Amino acid sequence: MNAIVQRENLITLAGAGVRSGGRVLVEGVDLTIARGEIVTLIGPNGSGKSTTAKMVTGVLKPSIGTVTRKAGLTVGYVPQKLSIDWTLPLTVERLMTLTGRFAPAEIIAALEAVGAARLLKAAVQELSGGEFQRVLFARAMIRKPDLLVLDEPVQGVDFSGEVALYQLIRQIRDTTQAGILMISHDLHVVMAETDTVICLNGHVCCRGTPNAVKTSPEYLRLFGDRAGSALALYEHHHDHEHHDDGCVVGAEHGHEHHHGHEGHKHAH
Ligand SMILES: Nc1ncnc2c1ncn2[C@@H]1O[C@H](COP(=O)(O)OP(=O)(O)OP(=O)(O)O)[C@@H](O)[C@H]1O
């Protein structure tokens, strides 16, 4: 019973790239997302993160290389921006049903799973950045996708809200075993909750565990001083040390992940 179970691959990109209008938007992308795995794409503006995510969701076909999906793969997508007519009143409940019919109990369960059940009747326009993101996660997860793609999931959220959202993303992964692809501008706190980081700059610059990437010369060259300050911020706000794989040093159950609120001290 102790055999290591190979997790099912959901999607594989091999040498994938997109050309448009005589330009290469991104190329040479090799990546695999397995069930229950969190993969994060980082890179500066225009480095090809969204283009790569679009190849994963299937919105864009690769013009170079291949994309192979598990048969019947379902993908949930949380966009960077939602095109909503912000002048019309819209409740969270209504937003949840704009793109599909769901029973009230399903909607409540989806909101409960992201800690947002109390927002059911709230006006979308009045939500905070973090609350809005939670509602968008619920909207994507209600379809129980195999793979969840999150484009800049913490935009417009303050630092403590950001930490809470990344914890929620990990919790979603733990409870649903969905594969998760995240897009982020830089490593920052994202590194605490991700299995594999892929650093893009028109092509794959470097990849590996967050700890491997944060010390790689390619990453440091790309992000320069920002890399150091993001790291300092990350380390400053923790009251414990991590093993190289991100687990807490001295955690009671050995290498158990421990990212609950009680284990952290975060500045507010
Ligand atoms: N539809 C398109 N047609 C032509 N060029 C595009 C198109 N979409 C994006 N690009 C270009 O492709 C490159 C990669 O863009 P992409 O949106 O993937 O970058 P990104 O890393 O997600 O950037 P950001 O962090 O700013 O969101 C950019 O140079 C962009 O201008």
Say which CATH number the domain at 18 has.
Answer: 3.40.50.300
Asked, for residue 139, whether it belongs to a domain, the answer is: no
> Over 60: is that where the pLDDT of 149 sits?
yes
Which pair of tokens denotes residue 265?
């001290």
Asked, for residue 241, whether it belongs to a domain, the answer is: yes
Q: Which residue has the higher pLDDT, 263 or 66?
A: 66
Residue nearest to atom 6 of ligand 1 (CA): 25
Asked, for residue 97, whether it belongs to a domain, the answer is: no
* 137 Cα–ligand 1 center, Å: 24
Is the ipTM above a cut-off of 0.85?
yes
> Over 90: is that where the pLDDT of 234 sits?
no
3-class secondary structure, 161: helix
pLDDT score for 226: 61
**pTM, entire model:** 0.80
* 220 Cα–ligand 1 center, Å: 22
Residue 159: pLDDT band (50, 70, 90) is confident
Residue 219: pLDDT band (50, 70, 90) is confident
Burial of 71 (0-12, 13-18, 19+ CB in 10 A): exposed
Which pair of tokens denotes residue 106?
């399903």
Asked, for residue 18, whether it belongs to a domain, the answer is: yes
**Which of 24, 25, 155 most suits a substitution to test ligand 1, by most atoms within 8 Å of the C-beta?**
25
**If you average pLDDT over residues 158-174, what whole number do you get?**
86
**Residues of the domain holding 6:** 1-74+181-250
Separation CA 112–CA 107 (nearest Å) = 9
* 26 Cα–ligand 1 center, Å: 9
Q: Which residues line ligand 1 (CB under 6 A)?
A: 20-21, 25, 43, 45-51
Asked, for residue 85, whether it belongs to a domain, the answer is: no
Asked which of 53-67, 119-133, 145-159, 233-247 is least confident by mean pLDDT, the reply is 233-247
What order of strands is seen across the sheet that includes strand 9-20?
23-34, 9-20, 64-69
* 202 Cα–ligand 1 center, Å: 10
Q: SS in 3 state form for 50-80? A: HHHHHHHHCCCCCCEEEEEECCCCCEEEECC
> Over 80: is that where the pLDDT of 255 sits?
no
Asked, for residue 82, whether it belongs to a domain, the answer is: no
- Count up the domains in the chain and report the number: 1
* 56 Cα–ligand 1 center, Å: 15
**If you average pLDDT over residues 174-190, what whole number do you get?**
84
Atom in ligand 1 nearest the alpha carbon of residue 47: 21
Determine the residue type at 251. A
Asked, for residue 129, whether it belongs to a domain, the answer is: no
Asked, for residue 165, whether it belongs to a domain, the answer is: no
pLDDT score for 84: 73
> Over 50: is that where the pLDDT of 268 sits?
no
**If you average pLDDT over residues 65-90, what whole number do you get?**
87
Which pair of tokens denotes residue 163?
């930490």
Residue nearest to atom 25 of ligand 1 (CA): 45
